[in-house]
Amino acid sequence: MDERYSRQVLFPGIGKEGQAKICNKHVLIIGAGALGSGNAEILTRAGVGKITVVDRDYVEASNLQRQQLYTEADVAERLPKAAAAERRLREINSDVEVRSIIGDATPEILEELIQDVDVMIDATDNFETRMAMNDVSQKYNVPWIYGACVGSYGMSFSIIPGRTPCLNCLLRTIPLQGMTCDTGGIISPIVQMVIAHQTSETLKMLVEDWDAVRTSFVSFDLWRNQYTSLKMSKAKYAGCLSCGEERTYPYLYHENRTKTTVLCGRDTVQIRPSISGEISLEKLAGQLSTLGYSVKGNPYLISVELGEERMVIFQDGRALIHGTKDLTHAKAVYQRIMG
């Protein structure tokens, strides 16, 4: 065992004492896609004592370009990502306790899992889950690391309760929502760049080197050779309902989640987002048209053909998914297109 982690122990920032801490810590990873699989593999190789992975999706051929834990055999079996990840991680390091959960990372699940977690890693694909992670982090005093990427652009921020602004604070300062991999595509190197930031910050937290933890918001575009680091200390908002002086943890409650409803007498699901705000229909229509979708619209809405289904999107972010009554499926379609 000493030989296995010998190169990591030689690094002054970790050493024998740090490695011992790593081997006794628990990391919770929400999402087992590109970021989740990469984070999970690196931390498993690093010897983290326990890793829990939560994901609701299964492996598809389009995942193989950037999701490093999976193979063509996983696609053929249509294995859930969490299950495929667990199997592969156990093969990599049998000393690490790996637990997979196949399903949505709901606030109830997050509050149940967070009890013995040391660090959470954001590898999800939607802001509803991120906001729930943010509130759970603040409520239970567990740090987490935000990460996202699309196209050749990525970003990351370490959130430490009581020390840094939370994600809810950041949304007042930095526009974080935008394209998804389904609407803007993605190249594998940007995934690796975000993973590098997330895993390095995780290791700092696991060895409890808090002075080394980066407190700036970083973003980078590998195709355009851009790298930005923004100090965020002034972004902390005293009135924030997630981390402020009178916090209520709003995203842990049902009334603040995405609303899905089957319309009476119609093969249609209506979805109302948890975070309100107008969107640019013209910009979204342009992005989707570029990707080959058939898009029609007017000043009030756009209609997008999605194979046997059709999605109508309104300026307030509300959408109708025609061609299904499955709430879970409709929500997944919405998040794939809207982020």
Pairing relationship of beta strands 97-102 and 50-55 according to DSSP bridges: parallel
**Which among 108, 98, 217, 232 is positioned nearest to 156, based on CA atoms?**
217
d(CA 326, CA 322): 11
* Full DSSP string of 284-313: HHHHHHHTT--EEEETTEEEEEETTEEEEE
Both tokens of 172, joined, read 């007042």
Exposure class string for 120-149: b at 16+ Cβ within 10 A, else e: bbbbbbbbbbbbbbbbbbbbeebbbbbbbb
Burial class for 73, CB neighbours closer than 10 Å (0-12, 13-18, 19+): exposed
Exposure class string for 216-247: b at 16+ Cβ within 10 A, else e: ebbbbbbeeeeeeeeebeebbbeebbbbbeeb
**Which among 132, 130, 154 is positioned nearest to 66, based on CA atoms?**
154
Q: Is the dihedral of CA 320, 326, 331, 333 positive or negative?
A: negative
Phi, psi of 225 (to 5 degrees): 60, 45
Cα–Cα distances in angstroms (integers) from residue 17 to residues 25, 31, 49, 97, 209, in the given order = 13, 30, 14, 20, 12
Q: Is the dihedral of CA 106, 108, 113, 118 positive or negative?
A: positive
How many Cβ atoms sit within 10 Å of the Cβ of residue 13? 12
**Catalytic residue positions, numbered:** 181
